[in-house]
Structure 1
Amino acid sequence: MRRGLFVDAGLLLLIPISIVGFSMSIESDRSTYRTTQTAKVNDIATTTDTEYTNDDANDNLKVQPMDFSVSRVYRVKYSNTKFRTTLDDDYREERLYRYVPGSKKANRTYSWSKIKAKVGKRVYVDKKAKVYYREDDGERDTEDFYRIRTSNSNKAQKYWVNEDAVEIDD
């Protein structure tokens, strides 16, 4: 019985020593081998919309991308709503999304031709999302997104759009 315990204890002691010895031999062998490693970039999905900002020098409007990457969004609040509205004149400047921008790492965007969009097209809104995000200068800001569908049926395909894409009565 004691002999079995000594064998087990010896094996348990031998395993870590062999691991350390093996790793040390690998370190010493590395100097003789030339290795190259390429860094893999983990691209977190970035979703951009555009916004117009006033250029102070010339009083011109400048198009600036709005970044809704997952790392910038720190909270999304959803609320139920139900109303019918139309697409705004500037809907082409926005995008159709599968999820609220910044809420998922992989968010698919769709073309407006997918829903046969045109100015004044009727859409049905059933949810609102308020996205809280950090800007480059560290300030916090919010954007509203609405979940729309082109049919009155609840089974119709739903898309998320920025509030600028639809006519919202305040």
Structure 2
Amino acid sequence: MKLARIIFALILSLALCAVRTVALADPDEAFTAYQKSDYATAFKLYHERALKGDVTAQGMVGTLYAYGRGVKQDDTQAAFWFQKLAEQGIAKGQFALGEMYLAGRGVHQDYAKAAELFRKAAEQGEPFSAFWLSMLYGQGQGVPKDPQQAAYWKKKSDENMPDFSDILLPQQQK
């Protein structure tokens, strides 16, 4: 149950990062619909762009499928769209697909595949992937148990972790 909560929190953080990225780079009709919780419109608009190869839209379609917003929740479709990003070397897509393999959502659970995807993303500086890679090395899941590798990737995660203090309640901030 604790692992499920951690996975949910990390997927939520991925969605927040995707939303922030879109907000900064692409203030368009699809994002406006998303901000207004008009997920059906956001899905329709993002899906059209995703089919044309727009990577931001592909990430949003994957996220909308993962959460069932604007479309029926479908882990297989979420994994499909995250796979498209991962194949293009996009760290957030590698991370999201790695989480799908870690949890067995939309794909068969495969710790080795999750570790492979997390490593690719972590090598690009994606901190949540480095965190999960450290956990896998610490537990010997999908990779040999290796405390030194676990510590290395945990340090990388800590170095690159974004500051979420602006979205935390004051009592949650350090």
TM-score normalised by the chain length of structure 2: 0.22
Indicate the structure whose relative CO is greater, using CA pairs within 8 Å and at least 6 residues apart.
1
TM-score normalised by the chain length of structure 1: 0.22
